Chains A and B, each alone.
Chain A
Amino acid sequence: MTERPGCPSVAHPYMANSVGAIKAAMLADIGAPSIEALFEQIPADHRLRRPLALPKAIPSEAELRRHLLGVLAKNKTCEDNLSFLGAGCWQHHVPAICDEIVGRSEFLTPVWGTPSSDHGRNQAWFEFCSQLGELVGMEFVGLPVYSWGCAAGHAIRMAARLTGRNEVLVPRSMDPERLAVVRTYCEPEALASHIAVRAVDYDAASGRLDLADLRAKLSARTAAIYFETPGYLGTVEENGAEIAMRARAAGAETIIGVDPISLGVLAPPGDYGADIVVGTTQPLGVHMNCGGGVGGFIATRDEERYAREYPTLLISITDTLKPGQIGFGLTLAHQTSYGLREKGKDWTGNSVYLWAIANAVYMSLLGPAGFRELGERIVQQSHYAARALAEIPGVRVVFPGGFFKEFVVNFDATGKTVAAIDEALRARGIFGGKDLSREFPELGQSALYCVTEIHDREDIDRLAGTLGEIVQ
């Protein structure tokens, strides 16, 4: 037996070799005097000289579960409460089989295998790309990136490399959360490779991009114009084709950000001039997970100039040595940082590949009719909600037409702040929309409300009724 100070005396359930006799046998096999001797490479003065001071171990699963559940019981959830929060992370229905499939050990626990040993997982990834490509109207789709903001950041950097220009135009109405990520990707001004981020104003009446301001700011320095539809403030960008046309005329790339769950009813950005499409993957079968569910994607036309700028992993269908059989393999892997280190395209690493499988399952389940039905339901319910709220005295919907699932609600005329209203709603089991008053002072006391298919009429009526009472 090898007793070692500080190690558990009972074998640990996660560690098969934490049995004294096994350790002794392995040491004997290699002829080492002790486990401590194996750490001989580390100089003594590098070593921690005391045991770690950590909370007491809980190796018992029963006790650990009790501990975790006890603490987590302090949370309030969007299941027990009625939530209208969106703004980058949205509550949609997650089909049961999405959870079933991503819980499969074969997908949950490993990393890479060979194209033959991990054929099924590679195929699921290819099916993610293939179905997303149908939704957004693009033929070339990368494996996912961390988030929508990260996808936008990479796409802008792709555009800067493609055009040799160093300025990007973004809507001033862009999500500040997402914009903060984009700014990080575009680097501070003091650096030579900086990409300047210039905001294009939005039309105060419609929320859409101000075309006059766009014309004024578009120039020979513009690498890309980036816009979203639906935008952060919920509105659908009606002038997408014209914006893309103007960008093209100026020699700039058009990057369009989308929430793909809207694409059963909204036009695929490939149809109205997108060069690069980015967006979120979270709505497609992934729980909000307190923001841990987010994911992003990049898609383009299948043209070499775009393909050779991707920082993502890319998987292609191919043949196998057996006639008639298909398989999947990585393509263009050498251009990533795995192949070229600092000369690679940005960087490549872990991402949200498990969520890509949930997304694939989700898109297969919905099919064309499911996406249309879902989109129509959301649009009708969100507009119903907007009208119901607008009927409350003092409450105004800022951009009342042409949105998808989110819309801006203004409370100025009630004399109450969003924070005060939210607090009152919370006390009544309702999470109000995201407070916009700090992000967009010009919108006054406004909040971004999100209505999806998970809400029903009673939920919306309850919100309207409760808000009515609060702002009285």
Chain B
Amino acid sequence: MMKNGGLREYRSASWDEPVVMELGYPGRRGMVFGEVDAAIAAKVGAAEALLPAAMRRRRPPALPELSEPEVLRHYLHLSQQTLGMLGVNLFGTCTMKYNPRAGEAVMARPQVAETHPLQHADTLQGTLELVHGFDLILRELSGMDRFVFQAAGGADAAYTHACVTRAHLAARGELGKRDEIVTTIQTHPCNPATAATAGFKVVTLMLDERGYPSLDALKAALSDRTAALMVNNPDDMGIYNPEIKEWVRLVHEAGGLCFYDHANFNGVMGKLRARELGFDACMYMLHKTFGAPKGGGGPAVGAYGCTAELARYLPGPVVAFDGAKYRLDSDRPDSLGKVREFWGNVPQVLKAYAWARAMGAEGIHEASDLSVLANNYMEKKLLAIRGVTKSNPHIDAWRMEMTRYSLGVLKEDTGVGVADMQHRMVDFGVDAPWLSHEPWLVAEPFTPEAGEMWSKEDIDYWIAALARVSEEAYRDPEIVKTAPHNQSIAKIRTDGLEDPERWATTWRAYRRKHRKA
């Protein structure tokens, strides 16, 4: 994105687009369904008489009345008022990567889009073959024995693990006795949250000066109450815990299961396997690492894989293959039940399959190479920017696919913090970077992740944008503090958002609270 060596003069479209509830004209139609067949009407009569009187709708819903092209144009305007990765987007922890449109085009066809999950397996042999094929690919990447795709996101896969743990403990008569799940403060919040939702107590280990918790801290946390360890590695700071094998050994020794949250798989894929590190189960996000689109937050898939020992607890149905035919096996008495209806966000699984086939073993190896190379390249250049430091600065090693940085110095010097920086970055067509999950362990954190898709020029552009923000902060901080300047709308007011008298999640509530007249 370099233009004469400088930053682009990005300007967002600004349509001043009204809320759809204000648009339209009474009587206008965007979709009609036609008159019901005369023979049908003659046989059954009016619809009204076919429904219990008490349950009929009396007042029509106050929806807008628009023609079809008006609806299309309205939502096209909204899409244009969304920066949405049309520039450079290095949103860390989410592994922004290319979503191949070949996958989009194929999965939009009726062979996928117009299929029903309860169709007889004989009529879904193509889908089942690809799902099974992808299971085999993930088995090879992880060393696990079986994957399922029912979990509708990474957090749902973490929840799946918590539920597998329950089923495993129940089978051993230890449910209710082993009631603690151990995690680390740098592990994604969905791990402690899903563990707690599944009924476990959560023990969170803090980091020591090396950037990960000590073995002593782990040992102190383990006991005959330990149900499982849920942990990521490397973490979002780009630090790999080299003692992880010993962690797994200790947790197993205490009688717990070990779950590898592979959210940060991009830097290690093809380089190591969860099974060889000793883990019992792991999770991949197909909408991150495996090229399926994110959709602004789903439909997503958390692919959950485990050892043969745990496979009997998996949510069903699972795909079975007898060498000639595929079928769905629902007859699994030890199964934990279900975490979501049906067997998964199938098109996303198939898109991930397509991505993995396009990449192959060589491409996947190359992608982790490029991710780690690009991150360390970025790190060198970002640390040269005034006011930027990194987490655990004394750790001298090359980082993995991400590094966590801090604008603490910049904030101290200029008053400009990460939120201001985000608002200014978008003015250059760069999506705001991820900051950090809570709690913030470094002041004013931010976490870019270069991944394998972005070109060196894109990365240089991103660095140049941050350099400009720093330069502005020291020269004229008001430019940054009053940003954004080139977006569809100005900065929002947040003071009413937490106020029950003022918040409004619907137009109806907004009208009542704010437009009383």
Contacts and interface: CB of A to CB of B under 8 A. Distances in A.
A21 B222 CA distance: 50
A140 B509 contact: yes
A288 B113 contact: yes
Interface stretch (A210-218, A244-252, A371-379, A409-417): A371-379
Given A134-B61, A380-B36, A112 B91 contact: yes
A441 interface: no
A431 B116 contact: yes
Interface size class of chain B, counting residues whose CB lies under 8 Å from the partner chain:
35 or more
A365 B66 contact: yes
A180 B97 contact: no
B490 A369 contact: no
A381 B109 CA distance: 27
Given A15-B363, A115-B492, A42 B426 contact: no
Contact of A351 (B153, B166, B457, B509): B153
Contact of B398 (A41, A59, A331): A41
A291 B271 contact: no
B64 interface: yes
Interface in B431-475: 431-432, 434, 437-438, 452-458
Contacts of B360: 8, 54-59
A14 B114 contact: no
B43 A315 contact: no
Contacts of B426: 113-114, 116-117
A137 B509 CA distance: 11
A188 interface: yes
A338 interface: yes
B17 A120 contact: yes
Contact of A289 (B130, B346, B369, B422): B346
Interface string A1-15: 000101110001111
B492 A77 contact: no
Interface size class of chain A, counting residues whose CB lies under 8 Å from the partner chain:
35 or more
A290 B120 CA distance: 12
A205 interface: no
Contacts of A372: 57, 60
A289 B345 contact: yes
A201 interface: no
Contacts of B500: 302, 304, 307
Contact of B114 (A64, A77, A340): A77
Contacts of A97: 68, 71-72, 75
Contacts of B296: 107, 110-112, 121, 353-354, 357
Contacts of A453: 33
Interface string B103-132: 011111111111111111011111101100
Residue with the highest number of chain A CB atoms closer than 10 Å, among B36, B102, B297, B377: B297
Interface string A102-127: 11111111111111111111011011
Given A74-B126, A426-B120, A118 B82 contact: yes
Contact of B116 (A108, A123, A288, A352): A288
Interface string A62-84: 00110111011111111111010
A131 interface: yes
Residue with the highest number of chain B CB atoms closer than 10 Å, among A16, A79, A426: A16
A111 B342 CA distance: 25
Contacts of B452: 14-15, 17-18
A89 B202 CA distance: 36
Contacts of A307: 500, 503
Given A72-B112, A120-B78, 4 more contacts: A48-B271, A69-B106, A106-B83, A361-B75
